[in-house]
Amino acid sequence: MLDAFRLDGRVALVTGAARGLGRAIAAGLAEAGADVAVLDRLEAEETAREISASGRRAQKLRFDLREATAAQAEKIVAECVRELGRLDILVNNAGVIRRAPALEFSEQDWEDVLSVNLTSVFYLSQAAARHFVAAGRGGKIINLASVLSYQGGITVPSYAASKSGVANLTRALANEWAGRGINVNALAPSYYTTELTADLRDDPERSEALLARIPAGRWGEPEDLKGAAVFLASDAAAYVHGTILPVDGGWLGR
């Protein structure tokens, strides 16, 4: 049974992989046997080095998903396939957040967040699925939703909207592509020790209130996502379609 979780011979593409959750997911997939293309607008040398240390191949891709288009997505998938020979797993992890009261929220902050968090997810999923269908092997798409796919949050209107969109886009694509051998699912983290939560962790009042709400009693660490990501990327999840899997320390059960 353990062999069903192995990813040997497969190639994954992870967006937003230079740090945080994306870096941990990329490392976890490599530890399970996958070669990994790591995409970020920042330098992802440390992530690539970590993948290589697992004995797997790493490819670095530099793209800014704030400029997400269908053409950009096709180029990303083509570059990954050209360098690593194939594509079997797409992890749409890249994400940004902007915090401000809704009455003061700027047009640029709205557009940047929706472009990275939602528009790029659709276009990359579309491009990857076209490759999967053409290759005739099926494939895995893992999106990063959030506990704010279920809740509205505070002063994060574009982030909440985008993550709700990711959850329903995941279900919609699963409905269309499950019969083609493509598994589309999502992970829903809660509050993790990443750059996106730095402001919250630096605010004693907000930090205390959030920790009091998490039954596990601690912030999530990026490594906490590795197992769930490997599961959804593997044959062990062959009959899992359209699922939003919380990895939240119990946040949603509270």
| Residue 16 DSSP SS3 | coil
| Cα–Cα distance measured from residue 147 to residue 188, given in angstroms and rounded to the nearest whole number | 6
Burial class (CB in 10 A: 0-12, 13-18, 19+), 98: middle
Instruction: Select which of 159, 191, 192, 239 is catalytic.
Output: 159
Q: Is 140 helix (H, G, I), strand (E, B) or coil?
A: strand
- Alpha-carbon distance 187 to 5, whole Å? 17
- Please, how many CA atoms are within 13 Å of residue 182, restricted to the half-sphere of its CB? 28
**β-strands 139-144, 182-189: how paired?**
parallel
Token pair for 124: 């990359």
Structure tokens at 79: 């570059």
Q: Is 191 a catalytic residue?
A: no
Three-class SS state of 153 = coil
Q: Which residues are catalytic?
A: 159
